[in-house]
Amino acid sequence: MPAPSMDLLRFATAGSVDDGKSTLIGRLLLDSKAIFEDQLEAVEATSLSRGYDYTDLALLTDGLRSEREQGITIDVAYRYFATPNRKFIIADTPGHVQYTRNMVTGASTADLGLVLVDARQGLTEQSRRHAVILSLLRVPHLVLCVNKMDLVDYSQERFDEIHKEFTSFATKLVIPDLTIVPISALKGDNVVTRSAHMDWYDGPSLLHHLENIHVASDRDLVDTRFPVQYVIRPKSDQYHDYRGYAGRVAGGILKPGDDVLVLPSGMTSKISEIDLFGQDLAEAFPPMSVTVRLEDDVDVSRGDMICRPQNAPSPSQDIDAMVCWMATTPLQPRQKLAIKHTTRMARALVKDVQYRLDVNSLHRDLETKELGLNEIGRVQLRTTIPLLCDPYEKNRTTGSFILLDEATGVTVGAGMINSSS
């Protein structure tokens, strides 16, 4: 059986513009040997030509900065690196409030959120906002990096102040796992190796924590959910009667012999085989992409959901969700949109905008009846066909959706389902 892909950690970085995100990512890439010598030489040469006293590791991730200077739309930058223990995907998200939608995009698939604060500045409005968004997105692990400790003489007292302030603020949020690490991205303190300058800190270095944090149990392994993406029928002599249903496991564990229910038809069958690249698997679990074959020739098509007969999502056309709005024209009641939920497409009518959430103070603005660009609020939708959904806090895949402009096909919103009725 192929090795499971649990050795991958996706994490999103967030922080104000000058908190040192690019330098930190550069330091992780450099100290984990994820960049080539000529790249480092180019960065050293550029730093020297600009008159810097040090090698500016932020230049390794300078894509975002050049975008910023050119006034282009700032997107999420993805970086990849690996250590002998784990592979990593970093979603480098912009810090400004006007790019909230980009942060939502980058953090929506993250296992861990990494928020940077400047030890001199302490918690800012942006730090709080980023923590709130990570909490809304139910990112299960949060690391607060108190950066630039070298500029406050590695002061334990200063670190303790920020630690106390943030843990107090975090009690208002849903953060199952919080770790706070004092670092200096520029000098390398506590990034990859423990720092001799902060012997008062007895926790792990940042990379050690990222390498060892356990994320497999964050997936929903109880409620079996398999949205069908594609029906495979080769119609060749070799696979004359082959009919398989391809998709990504969104929840639970699938095994040959399991009784299954196909929604929305309500037909039942058993799993006969689970295929991956021509190999039979003994089981499949999130986030594996596999092909499932059933014993009976039941009618299954794209957008259907394979689940367990005693544990099925409730089909619903009335959706109550938190929506992050991503378009310049506001979201308003009576608006009609396309909705994509797992592999199923439908149309949706906006019934009501209940409130707009102030992501800095968590205040609910009940007066506002529309959502502007980058705003988040609670919205009631009515869909043309039932969606097979779960609450977002239970399953981030079956509990989320995107909204599209029907005329252009452009994504205009992202939603997290509170409950369905």
pLDDT in tens, 393-408: 899 999 999 999 999 9
**pLDDT exceeds 90 at position 158:** yes
Per-residue tokens: 67: 């975008």
> What is d(CA 204, CA 29) in angstroms, rounded to the nearest whole number?
18
**pLDDT exceeds 90 at position 277:** no
Residue that the structure tokens 């995107």 belong to? 402
Q: What is the pTM of this model?
A: 0.82
More confidently predicted of 69 and 114 = 114
| Closest-CA residue to 146 (of 162, 135, 132) | 162
Per-residue tokens: 258: 């399991």
Mean residue pLDDT of the chain comes to: 86
Decide if 243 contacts 165 (C-beta within 8 A): no
| Closest-CA residue to 117 (of 142, 81, 88) | 142
Opening angle at CA 105, ends 102 and 107, nearest 5: 105
Decide if 15 contacts 95 (C-beta within 8 A): yes
Domains in the chain, please, with CATH?
A: 8-217 (3.40.50.300), 225-307 (2.40.30.10), 314-420 (2.40.30.10)
pLDDT in tens, 240-275: 678 899 999 999 999 999 999 999 999 999 999 999
Q: HEC states along 10-64?
A: EEEEEECCCCCHHHHHHHHHHHCCCCCHHHHHHHHHHHHHCCCCCCCHHHHHCHH
**pLDDT exceeds 60 at position 151:** yes
Report helix angle 125-136 to 100-107, nearest 10: 40
In Å, what is the CA distance from 339 to each residue of 130, 326, 334, 369, 386?
26, 14, 15, 20, 11
> What is d(CA 56, CA 74) in angstroms, rounded to the nearest whole number?
21
Start-to-end C-alpha separation, the chain:
40
* Torsion angles phi and psi, residue 100, rounded to 5: -55, -40
Label the pairing between strands 230-232 and 225-227: unpaired
Q: Helices marked H in 205-310 — which ranges? A: 206-212
More confidently predicted of 336 and 216 = 336
Query: In the Cβ-directed half-sphere of 374, how many Cα atoms lie within 13 Å?
Result: 12
In Å, what is the CA distance from 263 to each residue of 230, 274, 309, 343, 398?
15, 19, 10, 13, 14
* 133 membership: H or E segment, kind and range: helix 125-136
| Closest-CA residue to 371 (of 384, 358, 360, 383) | 358
Give the pLDDT of residue 71: 41
Give the pLDDT of residue 67: 44
Residue 351's contacts (CB-CB under 8 Å, 6 or more residues apart) are 318, 333, 380, 381, 382
Decide if 397 contacts 251 (C-beta within 8 A): yes
**pLDDT exceeds 60 at position 66:** no
Confidence label for 2 from pLDDT (cuts 50, 70 and 90): very low
> What is d(CA 285, CA 181) in angstroms, rounded to the nearest whole number?
32
Q: How many CB atoms lie within 10 A of CB 225?
A: 28
Give the pLDDT of residue 51: 72
Which residues lie across from 11 on neighbouring strands? Answer: 90, 112
Confidence label for 6 from pLDDT (cuts 50, 70 and 90): very low
Residue 236's contacts (CB-CB under 8 Å, 6 or more residues apart) are none
Residue that the structure tokens 């050293």 belong to? 44
| Closest-CA residue to 97 (of 136, 67, 47, 132) | 132
**pLDDT exceeds 70 at position 54:** no
Give the pLDDT of residue 62: 54
Per-residue tokens: 141: 């692990």
Label the pairing between strands 87-92 and 8-15: parallel
| Closest-CA residue to 117 (of 71, 140, 151, 75) | 151
Give the pLDDT of residue 271: 96
